[in-house]
Amino acid sequence: MSQELVIAIDGPSASGKGTVAQGVARELGFAYLDSGALYRLTALAAQLKNIAWDNEVEVAVIAAALDVEFIGEQIYLSGDDVTLAIRAEEIGSGASQVAALPQVRAALLQRQRAFVGEQGLVADGRDMASVVFPSAQLKVFLTASAEIRAERRFKQLIARGELADLAAITADLLARDERDRARTVAPLEQAADALLLETSSLTANEAIAQVLAWWQSRA
């Protein structure tokens, strides 16, 4: 299989992969895919229709028919701006739950692959390197300690003016990690040919620079 013009970045929740992926995409002039946003959108859409997140058949139908638009940094669901709504902690937890459903993952697979084009793509998620883009030119597994990730999420919430409890955030992250690793389809794991990037002691700019250096060495 020929390699795709894709940088696939996987990692656990709050590891900083979104910030790094966006920075790399910006520097290279590549498109950016936040695969987690699709699962968050699915969770939000299900919630709006009063469909339980563990109702695999109905949630998969919703995932397959998502009316989504990505315009710059804004995200629209059925014409409504849901950029902030999908970042709520409750929806993040819901996204982790619907992402464990095989039919939902299957429904979103081709949608994610359709983002690839001549421009090049940086994609971040849980299974970008292992499942969605197995022929990506560069694969990165980006992680950080649970304590660091919880602290980062805590600071994000406080900066947005939201109430936040560090202990609760830590417990939620650990629960998401376990759910992501234990699911039967596309579990969170480092692909055999992915490079490990531990960001606990790195700034976002340092992490971006490392991915760019890896890319240049492979280009």
**pTM recorded for the entire structure:** 0.84
Q: In 3D, which of 42, 210, 56 has the Cα closest to residue 111?
A: 42
**Domains of the chain with CATH codes:** 4-218 (3.40.50.300)
Backbone angles phi, psi at 88, to 5 degrees: -60, 145
pLDDT of residue 94: 94
Contact 196, 188 (CB under 8 A): no
pLDDT of residue 1: 44
CA–CA distance, 189 with 207 (Å, rounded to integer): 19
Q: What is the DSSP string of 134-203?
A: TTEEEEEEEE--HHHHHHHHHHHHHHTT----HHHHHHHHHHHHHHHHH-SSS-S---TTPEEEE-TT--
For the chain of 219 residues, list the mean pLDDT of each consecutive stretch of 10. Answer: 83 91 94 92 97 97 91 88 92 91 93 88 93 95 95 90 91 89 84 95 96 89
Angle at the Cα of 155 from the Cα atoms of 154 and 157, rounded to 5 degrees: 65
pLDDT of residue 2: 57
CA–CA distance, 123 with 117 (Å, rounded to integer): 12
Angle at the Cα of 34 from the Cα atoms of 150 and 202, rounded to 5 degrees: 45
Torsion region of 103: left, alpha or beta (phi above 0 gives left; psi -120 to 50 gives alpha): alpha
CA–CA distance, 80 with 148 (Å, rounded to integer): 34
Q: Counting Cβ atoms within 10 Å, is residue 156 exposed (0-12), middle (13-18) or buried (19+)?
A: middle
pLDDT of residue 219: 53
CA quadruple 161, 164, 170, 172: dihedral sign: negative
CA–CA distance, 68 with 112 (Å, rounded to integer): 12
